[in-house]
Chains A and B, each alone.
Chain A
Amino acid sequence: MASKQFKNIDWVTVLLYALLVGFGWISIYAANFNPENPVFFDTGKEYFKQLIWIGLSLFFIGVILITDSKFYVEFSYIFYGLTIFLLILVLLFGKEINGAKSWFEIGPIRFQPAELCKVATNLAVARALSRYGFSFKRFSDVLRAGALLLFPILLILLQNDTGSALVYGVFILVFYREGLTPYILVFGLISAVVVTLTLMVPNATIIGLILMGLLVLLYMRGLRKELLIPILITLVSFGIGYAVRYAMEADWDTEFLLIPGVLVASVYLVSTSFIKRSFRMIPTYMLILWSAIALTLTADYFFEEVLSHYQRTRINVLLGLEHDPLGAGYNVNQSKIAIGSGGIAGKGFLEGTQTKFDFVPEQSTDFIFCTVGEEWGFLGSTIVVILFVFLLLRLLYLAEKQHSSFSRVYGYGVAAIFFFHFAINIGMTIGLAPVIGIPLPFFSYGGSSLWGFTLLLFVFLKLDTNRAELIR
């Protein structure tokens, strides 16, 4: 029986898992290695504890593999409900660490239910999306899928753990794969770009970019007369407004100059649509232009009023608007120094100085990649990046092969979550992403996150052993 369980398992993924966990442990060992007192069997040391967590992971893997695949399908909602319950409990009885109240503490063991929740949410989403007749064209189905994400997001936000909450946003990729209109995805992306640009460059430039983008979009959809006129109206009225402001030396915000034109153009578009009884163009124009204006107007407000000070400075530092290597940019700066000092081949195992001497904060958890960069250099870090990309591609490949839609959705979920963690975590250590405190899968120290990721992966591998079947 057991041998049969292992026969179908995807050994490539298992090998990748083993490599990543092994390399991860070596990095944790190096990050905490004390050259003055090089003891190994110190139960207080993180590398020793991590060894125990890895051992327990192997045990969990065993349990996962001997459990019937159907169990995960059947119990997905119950599992989801339980973890939501845990998230509520942790809000009431949890322990606050680093400002986030997201930990249970039972004796010497600390446990973060949010990590478990990723697995449960992924199972629940897979269950919901694979339900017979589910369609993103049906509004109630969209709502149901969205609600599955909303609960954990809200509860984790309440724990004050923004990073972990953001992870759930990545399910939009899964939804897209399962038939969600690409507009939402594109809209989301454009919004992100607009918000970022608003913070970085003067509004006039953004508006120019938005208009250009709009024209490109129109071109792609085939240039239509109906849209050309409103666009021209918008542009001309913006030009007049700009000239008037220049002539009067007035102190108007640039985005307001756009509003009259957009208004006139909108009225024109709506009225002609009524005359021609064709409303096709209205959503495209309205959605893109009005929301762009709304975003530029609200981004600043959101940034200044809604975000907390430290989040604001982190974003500013990332965008290069604030240079403060000793303040908010300290972490990233030191992290870049550590990685950069590694050179091509690295300083060698245990020879890293930046990470060991606490220049890099959180050097065994969120910033563990620094140790890799410093001690193993460009070659080592590239290998890690390649391993991750390889794992992600392998997961996508496997997901596509699933006959059962539950397994497929679940597989995409796993890949999406790993992708988000990988992209944000490594991106943050090399200064490409904002500092969001989420772990690097299999590398960062911590039982909860290791178990969470292991569960996530091996449940999929278990499902994969039955890939030829329809699991119901």
Chain B
Amino acid sequence: MLGVGLMFISKLFVLQVYDPSYKLSAESNTRRKVTQFPSRGLVYDRNGKLLVSNQAVYDIMVVPRDIVPFDSIDFCQSLDIQIEDLRAMFVEMRKNIKSRKISSYKPSVFYKQLSAESYGRFQEKLYKFKGFFVQGRSVRKYEYPLAAHVLGYLGEVGQSRLDKDAYYSKGDYVGISGIELTYEKELRGRKGNKFVMVDVHGRDKGAFREGRYDTAAIAGNNLTLSLDIELQEYAEQLMQNKIGSIVAIEPSTGEILSFVSAPGYDPSVLVGRKRGEGFLNLASDSLKPLNNRALQGTYSPGSAFKLVNAAIALQSKSINEYTKFDCDGPLSSPIRCTHHHRTPIEAHGAIETSCNPFFYGAFRYTLEGGGRNTREGYKLWYDHVKSFGFGERLGIDLPYEIKGNVPHISLYDNIYGENHWRAITVRSLAIGQGELLVTPLQMANEASIFANRGHYFAPHLVKQIENRSLADNYTTQISTTIEPENLDEVIRGMGDVYDGEIGTARYYKNDSITMCGKTGTVENPFGDDHSVFIAFAPRENPKIAISVIVENAGYGSTWAAPIATLLMEKYIAGEIPKRHKYYEKKMLEGDFINGQ
């Protein structure tokens, strides 16, 4: 008896004093951390209109052990699913129980993201389905079917992110693209923890130590975007059935007013039960609506780039406002001209009429005038171009921005050999073609630079972050190498594009707003020319700078120019003049996707 007593005491010693593993098991047995999810920050437009909020969806949860046989037809009808689906769900559930992914004592998700109305129907009958209950969860709600490329979307956190950031745990939702990704840390808030005690079946038995160790969830910060949702809506309407993009910037701040990549999609498609299906449809669409063309589409700027070349030639004193070049129209060499106008012609007239021979001449003077050799001249030109933000990321607060390309001197040295190439060799650059590649965002920024007479602010989409100030790089003015006085001639030309007798956008002139613009018809080796237009308005104290590109639409003056004009009118005056209603109708009806 003493022996048994001693045996017991020594075993008790091992269990209770010597071996710590039983204490650990006991803690994990009874204490459960329940994550408190914060509500994600809301998103507003620049005028305080709510763009993105949160909505409740309902997951049907199941405690497999508690299920009693039920009327499966009734179950299916209230969820609006087929009996086969239900059967598949049960097969899945049993498989998960077997592989111990889920417990038959603890709740796990049976059916994800029920909409509020299905929830209502199901809730009424819930009492018939023992073992099932409904748990609320929040997902994004989009108030407008617009600006999908700006807003981005959420998705379940991926493994790489899980490994890098300890904040996340499996099944969390994070921003995958758009501002949801860029401002993830602002929007997500902070998760809280609640420690509850649970019994053997995982049932809640109340707070652990009266909630002493609980932390409350902290809601995410709200964002105010620089977008004007009404302008955005109008822009997207104008771009319907077209491929291309629109970027509109407030020049004085760099705030983006409208940001369109067409074709777009309704951001609500990527929320809720149909997310998987919606994503698949978008990803397999041949027009690639998921691509953000305004950031990732690279185009030759075409004639819109002539403004930059003119500014550089003037800044480098290669030409002055009186310098004129002859134009022989279609017979001009080495680049022919497609416009009919007076000759010889000076800078502002050449901008008005988009005269190719003038810009070839000015480009040649830049590279080879003033006693410079071609390579020196090219370096000079290259530095000026780079100061406009071309060939670099502008640093917009959206992910995956593309740099574009300004050909470096080494490219031509490699192709032709050092000193074996001249301005005539790279003449395409004079008219914005050739190896030069820019994004629509960079073109809008170019318009903004001219509007500001030589400087810009890095374009950005977020105007205000709750509880935090905006990043410095969005409030710092960035100067180009061009001095304001050298831009008068260019601005005059841009004004004449609207106001001149033979300006390329003269049909769209607005009687009350003085506008400045430049058309571009971009040669496209893969198909019809792209229609391009950059502009700003009003001429003094500009409020909006814009770039429009419509792929395969032909002349800049036929599509891009009216669209840009309508948007500027809409933004500045709030309405479209009666005279322009005809163009508006034409633009809205224009269809380059389904074939007019």
Nearest A residue to B30 via CB reads A353
A163 on the B face (CB < 8 A): no
B9 at the interface (CB under 8 A from A): yes
Contacts of A426 in B (CB 8 A): 8
Knowing A340-B16, A382-B12 are in contact, say whether A357-B30 is a contact too (CB < 8 A): yes
Asked if B8 contacts A378 (CB within 8 A), the reply is no
Q: Which of B4, B15, B19, B30 contacts A423 (CB 8 A)?
A: B4
Closest beta carbon of chain A to B569's beta carbon, Å: 68
Within 8 A of A (CB), among B10-45: 11-13, 15-17, 19, 21-23, 25-27, 29-30
- Complex alpha-carbon distance, A340 and B18, angstroms: 9
B7 in the interface (beta carbon within 8 A): yes
Instruction: Kindly state the separation between the CA atoms of A388 and B8 in the bound complex, as whole angstroms.
Output: 11
By a CB distance below 8 angstroms, the chain B residues around A373 are 12, 15-16
Query: Do A357 and B1 contact each other (CB < 8 Å), given the known contacts A337-B25, A385-B8, A430-B8?
Result: no
Q: What are the 8 closest A-B residue pairs judged by CB atoms, nearest first?
A: A340-B22, A341-B26, A357-B199, A389-B5, A378-B16, A340-B15, A353-B30, A358-B200
Is A343 interfacial (CB 8 A cutoff)? yes
B17: chain A residues within 8 A (beta carbon): 343-344, 378
Q: Is B344 an interface residue (CB 8 A)?
A: no
How far apart are B53's CB and chain A's nearest CB, in angstroms?
37
Partner of A353, one of B1, B4, B11, B197: B197
Shortest Cβ distance from residue B203 to the other chain A in the assembled complex, whole angstroms = 9
Given A354-B30, A427-B8, A359-B200 contact (CB < 8 Å):
yes
Q: List 21 A-B contacts (CB under 8 A).
A: A36-B205, A36-B206, A337-B22, A339-B15, A339-B22, A340-B23, A340-B26, A341-B25, A343-B16, A343-B23, A353-B29, A373-B12, A378-B13, A378-B17, A382-B12, A385-B5, A388-B5, A389-B5, A430-B15, A431-B11, A432-B8
Residue A393, interface by CB 8 Å: yes
Number of interface residues of B (CB under 8 A): 29
A225 to chain B, nearest CB (A): 37
Using Cβ atoms and an 8 Å threshold, which residues of chain B touch A388? 5
A385 touches B9 (CB 8 A): yes
- Are A35 and B206 in contact (CB-based, < 8 A)? yes
B16 and A342 contacting across the interface, CB-CB below 8 Å: yes
Is A344's CB under 8 angstroms from B16's CB?
Answer: yes
Output the nearest chain B residue to A419 by Cβ-Cβ distance.
B1
- A344 and B13 alpha carbons, distance in the complex (Å): 8
Asked if A87 is at the interface (CB within 8 A of a chain B CB), the reply is no
Interface check A49, CB cutoff 8 A: no
Closest to A415 in B: B1
CB distance from A434 to the nearest CB of B (A): 15
Interface of A is mostly: helix
Q: Is A381 an interface residue (CB 8 A)?
A: yes
By beta carbon, the residue of chain A nearest B28 is A337
Residues from 1 to 45 in A contacting B, C-beta threshold 8 Å: 35-36
Is A338 in contact with B26, judged by CB distance below 8 angstroms? yes
> Contact flags (1/0) for A367-407 with B, using CB distance below 8 Å?
00000010001100110011011001100100000000000
Q: Across the interface, which residues of B come within 8 angstroms of A353, CB to CB?
A: 26, 29-30, 197
Residues of B contacting A110 with CB < 8 Å? none
Annotate A416-429 by CB proximity to B: 1 below 8 A, 0 otherwise. Answer: 00010011001100
Alpha-carbon separation in the docked complex, A343 to B19 (Å): 9
Cβ A357 vs Cβ B205 within 8 A: yes
Q: Does A336 contact B (CB under 8 A)?
A: yes
What residues on A are CB-neighbors of B25 within 8 Å?
A: 337, 340-341
What distance in Å separates the Cβ of B74 from its nearest Cβ neighbour in chain A?
A: 34
Q: Which of A35, A337, A340, A377 has the most CB of B within 10 A?
A: A340
CB pair A357 B197 closer than 8 Å: yes
Residue B198 at the chain A interface, CB threshold 8 Å: yes
Closest B residue to A376 by CB, please name it.
B16
Which of A36, A341, A431 lies at the interface centre, i.e. has the most chain B CB atoms within 10 A of its CB? A341
Contact present for B12 and A378 (CB under 8 Å): yes
Closest CB-CB distance, B198 to chain A, in whole Å? 7
Judge whether B88 is part of the interface by a CB distance below 8 angstroms: no
Does A382 contact B22, Cβ atoms closer than 8 Å? no
Chain B 182-212, CB-CB to A under 8 Å as 1, else 0, gives 0000000000000001111100011000000
Query: Interface SS of chain B: helix, strand, loop or mixed?
Result: helix
Nearest Cβ distance between residue B26 and chain A, in whole angstroms? Answer: 3
Chain B: CB-nearest residue to A344: B17
Q: Which residues of A contact B5 (CB under 8 A)?
A: 385-386, 388-389
Interface membership of B2, Cβ < 8 A: yes
Seen from chain A, the residues whose Cβ lies within 8 Å of a Cβ on chain B are 35-36, 334, 336-344, 353-354, 357-359, 373, 377-378, 381-382, 385-386, 388-389, 392-393, 396, 419, 422-423, 426-427, 430-432
Contacts of A423 in B (CB 8 A): 4
With A343-B17, A378-B12 as known contacts, state yes or no: A359 contacts B29, CB within 8 Å: yes
C-alpha gap A430/B14 in the complex (Å):
10
CB distance from A34 to the nearest CB of B (A): 9
Other A-B contacts than A343-B17, A388-B5, 17 sampled, CB-CB below 8 A, are A337-B25, A337-B29, A339-B12, A339-B15, A340-B26, A341-B27, A344-B16, A353-B29, A354-B26, A357-B197, A357-B200, A359-B29, A389-B4, A389-B5, A419-B1, A423-B4, A427-B8
Whether A382 and B9, one on each chain, are in contact in the complex, defined by CB atoms closer than 8 angstroms, is: yes
Q: What residues of chain A lie closer than 8 Å to B27, measured between beta carbons? A: 341
Please report the C-alpha to C-alpha distance between residue A419 and residue B12 in the assembled complex, in whole angstroms.
18
Q: Smallest CB–CB gap between B348 and chain A, Å?
A: 85
CA distance A357 to B12 in the complex (A): 22
Bound-state Cα–Cα, A393 to B5, Å: 11
Which residues of A have CB within 8 Å of B198? 357
Question: For B21, what are the chain A residues with a Cβ–Cβ distance below 8 Å?
Answer: 340
Query: Complex formed: what's the CA distance from A342 to B23 in Å?
Result: 7
With a CB–CB cut-off of 8 A, which chain A residues contact B8? 385, 426-427, 430, 432
Instruction: Tell me the bound Cα distance from A369 to B392 in angstroms.
Output: 74
CB pair A340 B1 closer than 8 Å: no
**Structural contact, B7 and A432, CB atoms closer than 8 A:** yes
Q: How far is the CA of A336 from the CA of B26 in the complex (A)?
A: 10
A16 to chain B, nearest CB (A): 14
A75–B141 Cα distance when bound, in Å, is: 85
Q: Mark B316-359, 1 if CB is under 8 A from A, else 0.
A: 00000000000000000000000000000000000000000000
Given contacts A336-B22, A337-B26, contact A358 B16 (CB under 8 A): no
A377 to B7, CA, bound (A): 17
In the complex, which residues of chain A have a beta carbon less than 8 angstroms from the beta carbon of B12?
339, 373, 378, 381-382, 385, 430
When distances are taken between beta carbons in the complex, the residues of chain B under 8 Å from A431 are: 11
Residue of B4, B9, B27 contacting most chain A CB atoms (<10 Å): B4
- Chain B residue contacts of A382, Cβ below 8 A: 9, 12
Q: Select from chain B the residue with minimum beta-carbon distance to A342.
A: B16
Q: How far is the CA of A385 from the CA of B15 in the complex (A)?
A: 15
A344 to chain B, nearest CB (A): 5
Residues in A neighbouring B199, C-beta threshold 8 A: 357-359
Residues of B within 8 A of A334 (CB): 29, 200
Chain B contacts for A340, CB-based, 8 A: 15-16, 19, 21-23, 25-26
Give the CA-CA distance A195 to B367 in the complex, in Å: 103
Question: Which residues of the other chain, B, contact A386 by a CB distance below 8 angstroms?
Answer: 5, 9
- B contact residues around A344 at 8 Å (CB): 16-17
CB distance from B394 to the nearest CB of A (A): 58
CA distance A396 to B21 in the complex (A): 39
A342 to B199: give the CA distance in the assembly, Å: 18
Please give the distance in Å from B252's CB to the nearest CB on chain A. 63
Q: How far is the CA of A336 from the CA of B12 in the complex (A)?
A: 9
Residues of B within 8 A of A337 (CB): 22, 25-26, 29
From B20, which residue of chain A is reached at the shortest CB distance?
A340
Interfacial chain B residues near A357, Cβ < 8 Å: 30, 197-200, 205
| Residue contact B26 to A393, C-beta cutoff 8 Å | no
Q: Which residues of A contact B15 (CB under 8 A)?
A: 336, 339-340, 373, 430
Judge whether A377 and B16 touch: CB under 8 Å: yes
- Complexed CA–CA distance, A323 and B313 (Å): 85
**Which residues of the partner chain B approach A343 to less than 8 Å between Cβ atoms?**
16-17, 23
A334, B8: Cα distance in complex, Å: 18
Check A381 against B29 for contact (C-beta < 8 Å): no
